[in-house]
Structure 1
Amino acid sequence: MKSLKRLSALLTAAVLTTSLIGCGAAEKGSNSADSSQKSTEQKVSNVNISYVKSPLNVPSIVEKKKNLFQDEFSKDNIKVTFPEITEGSKMTEAVASGSLDFCNAIGATSVILAASNGVNIKIIGMYSRAPKAFTIMAKDPNIKSIEDLKGKKIVGPKGTILHQLLLGALKNKNMKIDDVQFINMGIPQGVSALMSGSSDVALVAGPAVSQALEKGAHIVTTGEGILDATIVIAARKDFLDKHMDIAKRYMNVHNKSLQFMKDNPDETYKLASEETQISVDKVKEMYNWYDFSPKITEKDIKELEKTQDFLMENGMLKKKIDIKSLIQDISK
């Protein structure tokens, strides 16, 4: 009888021990899964978002000045950096090298050129459309129309929306680029050349338009009726593949900035004025030129296709791409 009791006690102890081991293993497995999940969530330690404030990129200004991205991503210990890369080609180079995750305001021309050359980049939303913000300007009062540009020296940045504006304006009047003397030059340098008389005409956008007007220049034409001046939001495709959750949070923050602009117009104008160094009155005037809706419409897609045609026709693009395949709309 004693032997049976002893055997029963040993079996009970063995069952308890096995149960405890099983519980321990389960807890360890659960902790391991939690740890793995946390590890996955924290795999992104830094997000790089380009910062361009001109011509008048109000959402970017609000996002940076109100710390909207930092507030969102600091919850997961993700650091946000804002490299100031103002040239579209430099932005796409940074995307290609993996040092830039989001192009927060980049010309469609730059994205199409990069994609055609093999850069793995996607358009994830629209940033702005502002045809009135892009202009052809002159100082000579005798230059009043596009026809007056014939034989004139025109300065501006090649392969950009402004360049597209010039070619579109000429085409509308049955003129070609060979009918003018076009010289590749940045906007600030172009305005200086116009003011000094070393060029007859300059391609000007954003705050530089107001500055040139104050110095005695006038607008020959804007982009209205010629192009939409499409600026987009783009991202690295491999980043999207791995971190779509981060990309969606990025777009949510962008939408928050748009809501802030709507709810707080006076503070928005003030922030933009301080950042761009132009008067609040000028900011208000220019602000009305912009459509900041992030939704990608059929009209936007047609405008992107029109931009690609412009690049092909002018020898800047050798291989066409499928514009729709370039879009990964996460703004919905």
Structure 2
Amino acid sequence: MKKLKKLLALALAVFMGGSLLMACGKQESKPEEKKEKTSTINVTYVKAPLNVPSIIEKDKKSFDKEFEKDKINVKWHEITAGPQQTQALAAGELQFLHALGGTSAILAASNGVDLKIINVYSRAPKAFMIITKNPDIKTPKDIKGKKIGGPKGTVLHQLLVGSLEKEGLKQEDVEFINMGIPEALAALNDKSIDAALLAGPAALKAIKGGAKVVTNGEGIVEGTIVTAVSGKFLKENPELVERFKKVNNDTIDYIKNNLDEALEIASKEVGLTKEETKEMYSWYNFDTKITEKDIEELKKTQSFLMKNKLQQKEIKIEDIIAK
């Protein structure tokens, strides 16, 4: 009996030892790979000219509430310049560019940035204007030979070129001076330029100060602003991107159903009266769905960039739209 017990104990030891060796062998040959979990989502905060959805999402902590159940922190970054946004995206410092100019998105993609547009943020042709205090300027045709100030390579620049082309003119027919919107407004007020390319609150301020609108973007440029992510982040986190889009769409619905409250919050954030904010809000279309018209508008923007030698390499616009 003792002999039988010894044999059984020996057999059990051999079996357990073999199993342990097999387990170790499997572990060494095929180590378990764990995907790094997203712990922080970094989003751009661009409140101007009048980005009501972002203002409400930040105020109501909409994204925080959506992602806190996954222990994901949401951090807002007030980076408004398109090139800085896309550089930070390429470096992995930002995950969502929430309000990126269509021009900036196209330029970044043409320069090799792995960028995907997930929705349209806004369209606002009425928000982009050529404004003057010169009584001799009544139509875009009257700016021939005049000094025009505004930001180069932007929707406003595209508006200038487009409005000139409608009159059979070219950019060379005016003296275009590259400057930011605040500088253009100041130059208009001190009469060092004849007309300024202005948008949003700056345009409204100029009009309230006695300036007049020569033209806006209607029929010339849509002023398409988009939301974009890196292709890598989209591929690795498709569910997070879809949830981000849902929160954005829910915010649009909230604004529509609670317009007075939303405009009150937005007016305080951008420093306008509620009446001024309401007037500006009427210029915007925040529908997020990407339509064929939007894609055609982005193609038109690329043509403008290529024609004016602001973009070197042409891309296929459909390739930067998230499927």
Q: Matched residue of 2:77: which SS?
A: coil
Question: How well do the aligned residues superpose, as a CA RMSD in angstroms?
Answer: 2.5
Q: Distance in 2 between matches of 1:122 and 1:280?
A: 35
Q: In the alignment, which residue of structure 1 is the partner of 2:229? A: 235
Shift of 1:151: 0.9
Matches within 5 A, 1:41-80: 43-80=37-74
Q: In the alignment, which residue of structure 1 is the partner of 2:314? A: 320
Q: Distance in 2 between matches of 1:210 and 1:75?
A: 42
Q: Distance in 2 between matches of 1:227 and 1:157?
A: 15
Shift of 1:284: 1.0
2:82 aligned residue (68, 79, 88): 88
Shift of 1:72: 1.1
After superposing on structure 2, the runs of 4+ consecutive aligned residues of structure 1 that deviate more than 2 Å are none
- Letter of the structure 1 residue corresponding to residue 98 of structure 2: N
Q: Distance in 2 between matches of 1:101 and 1:81?
A: 10
Q: Any unmatched runs of 5+ in structure 2?
A: 24-31
**Is 2:111 the partner of 1:124?**
no
2:273 aligned residue (276, 279, 285): 279
Matches within 5 A, 1:103-142: 103-142=97-136
Q: Deviations over 1:77-112 (max 9, x none)?
A: 211111111111111111121111111011110010
- Letter of the structure 1 residue corresponding to residue 267 of structure 2: S
TM-score by length of 2: 0.90
Q: In the alignment, which residue of structure 1 is the partner of 2:305? A: 311
- Letter of the structure 1 residue corresponding to residue 189 of structure 2: M
**Is 2:259 the partner of 1:265?**
yes
Q: In the alignment, which residue of structure 2 is the partner of 1:217? A: 211
Q: Matched residue of 1:119: which SS?
A: coil
- Letter of the structure 2 residue corresponding to residue 74 of structure 1: E
2:174 aligned residue (164, 175, 180): 180
Q: Distance in 1 between matches of 2:231 and 2:131?
A: 38
Q: Distance in 2 between matches of 1:290 and 1:218?
A: 20
Q: In the alignment, which residue of structure 2 is the partner of 1:292? A: 286
Q: Matched residue of 1:49: which SS?
A: strand
Q: Distance in 1 between matches of 2:302 and 2:162?
A: 13
Q: Distance in 2 between matches of 1:272 and 1:249?
A: 24
Q: Matched residue of 1:285: which SS?
A: helix
- Letter of the structure 1 residue corresponding to residue 264 of structure 2: K
Shift of 1:286: 1.3
Q: Matched residue of 1:253: which SS?
A: helix
2:160 aligned residue (163, 166, 173): 166
Q: Distance in 2 between matches of 1:79 and 1:183?
A: 43
Query: How many residues of Structure 1 are paired with residues of Structure 2 in the alignment?
Result: 311
Q: Distance in 2 between matches of 1:133 and 1:82?
A: 25
Q: In the alignment, which residue of structure 2 is the partner of 1:30? A: none
Shift of 1:209: 1.2
Q: In the alignment, which residue of structure 2 is the partner of 1:251? A: 245
- Letter of the structure 2 residue corresponding to residue 123 of structure 1: I
Shift of 1:75: 1.4
Matches within 5 A, 1:3-22: none
Q: Distance in 2 between matches of 1:77 and 1:211?
A: 43
Q: Distance in 2 between matches of 1:128 and 1:98?
A: 25
Matches within 5 A, 1:190-201: 190-201=184-195
Q: Matched residue of 2:145: which SS?
A: coil
Q: Distance in 2 between matches of 1:246 and 1:240?
A: 8
Shift of 1:241: 1.4
Q: Distance in 1 between matches of 2:157 and 2:92?
A: 28
- Letter of the structure 2 residue corresponding to residue 55 of structure 1: P
